[in-house]
Homo-oligomer: A and B are copies of this chain.
């Protein structure tokens, strides 16, 4: 007992002094980012000068060049590209679709082809609409109820989950596997209700995954307002038909790149700390919150560390991952090269939940590592981050789990994300400069602490 008390007597003040030094260092980072931060200006460029940047598009290539330049300007001592082959999906001609109530009544749909989906053919398809609200309903209907029809997956996002990502995960099955499941029963095509948390007139796209054993039928998202209307019309009409025409298709893979900028570590240059977002976006949107925000925040972490005069012990890398949206090839390539080059990856942080006001970080790491990180909690509290919880990461960094890398994801407030996610409303104007920069401040603080103390 006496021994423990004595130990505390010496240990506690040292810990407190360390926290005080760190608190001052983080305040310095914060003041600088709020005053001189470049994330918002970089995001404007990415949204307005580059624009939508789907993998394989000329704009994706422009985004590679633009962020390589930004990384240099941020003070990275090395900037390089990691070539990787990516899927090259194209939307084709503007999609058409309408709901036919009877001979004299129809209304046009606000719709878009789902990412990676194949077109309906030049003539489009027309068929009776069958609505399903759960996957079990689809299976109950089976071939008898579905063959030759157009399946309408009306899976509304559950509004009662405070964490909107949970509802996205739950209802997202419709978009992710709905077309493949409906094709199994002979459906002509599929319409999914947009995965949006609000009532709006914009279709929200996103990938679908076919099953090679069944036909690749046309698949679209319709706006939530259209979905609500259609659902009502179905209750008052015996037969409702839909016409859908899409010409999207998957072309052969093309070459693209991850963009990497690093500050070489002074003591342990072989220990890599990654901070990243994904550079590609959907073709319908400026990709401001998804995920231009995560890219410019990651670049800002490098800039802020340089600007604060911090000389990291470990190598800190900002990575713009390519092809998160419809393939994940950038993340896979990053792991492949890490293994090939025998790099040690200590920690990776991803920001891919929007540049909204930050609330926490989620961690996928060993319990003793998490315990260590949670001791830093008081350092984040003044910057609005109060939750350092188990569970987190990001799809681009998740391949690194296989080599034992500790992972983390920034958790910004999620209330507004699914109002604009994967839709034309995901524009630069929807991003708050202060919120974006506050996220970057917390990311820089975490990277600073992991670099200084290890895990």
Chain B nearest Cβ from A307, distance in angstroms? 14
Is A181 part of the binding interface, using a Cβ–Cβ cutoff of 8 Å? Answer: no
Chain B nearest Cβ from A386, distance in angstroms? 5
Indicate with 1 or 0, residue by residue over A378-390, a CB within 8 angstroms of chain B CB atoms. Answer: 0000111011000
Is A433 part of the binding interface, using a Cβ–Cβ cutoff of 8 Å? Answer: yes
A365 CA / B140 CA spacing, docked (Å): 59
Residues of chain B lying within 8 A (CB to CB) of residue A433: 198
- Whether A413 and B357, one on each chain, are in contact in the complex, defined by CB atoms closer than 8 angstroms, is yes
Chain copies in complex:
2
Residues of chain B lying within 8 A (CB to CB) of residue A382: 162
Residues of chain B lying within 8 A (CB to CB) of residue A434: 159, 164, 197-198, 415-416, 419
A35 CA / B415 CA spacing, docked (Å): 14
Residues of chain B lying within 8 A (CB to CB) of residue A162: 30, 382-384, 438
Interface size class of A (residues with CB under 8 A): 20 to 34
Is A368 part of the binding interface, using a Cβ–Cβ cutoff of 8 Å? Answer: no
Is A432 part of the binding interface, using a Cβ–Cβ cutoff of 8 Å? Answer: yes
Contact among B160, B383, B415 for A432, CB-based, below 8 A: B415
Is A435 part of the binding interface, using a Cβ–Cβ cutoff of 8 Å? Answer: yes
- Whether B435 and A34, one on each chain, are in contact in the complex, defined by CB atoms closer than 8 angstroms, is no
Is A359 part of the binding interface, using a Cβ–Cβ cutoff of 8 Å? Answer: yes
- Whether A415 and B386, one on each chain, are in contact in the complex, defined by CB atoms closer than 8 angstroms, is no
- A382 nearest in chain B by CB position: B162
Contact among B359, B386, B416 for A435, CB-based, below 8 A: B416
Interface-centre pick from A357, A419, A438 (highest chain B CB count, 10 A): A357
Is A31 part of the binding interface, using a Cβ–Cβ cutoff of 8 Å? Answer: yes
- Report if A30-B438 is in contact (Cβ < 8 Å); known contacts: A413-B357, A432-B416, A432-B419: no
Can you list 17 A-B contacts (CB < 8 A)? A30-B162, A31-B160, A35-B160, A159-B434, A162-B382, A162-B383, A162-B384, A164-B434, A357-B357, A357-B415, A386-B386, A413-B413, A413-B435, A415-B435, A415-B438, A416-B435, A419-B434
Q: Could you list which residues of chain A lie within 8 angstroms of chain B, going by C-beta atoms?
A: 30-31, 34-35, 159-160, 162, 164, 197-198, 357, 359, 382-384, 386-387, 413, 415-416, 419, 432-435, 438
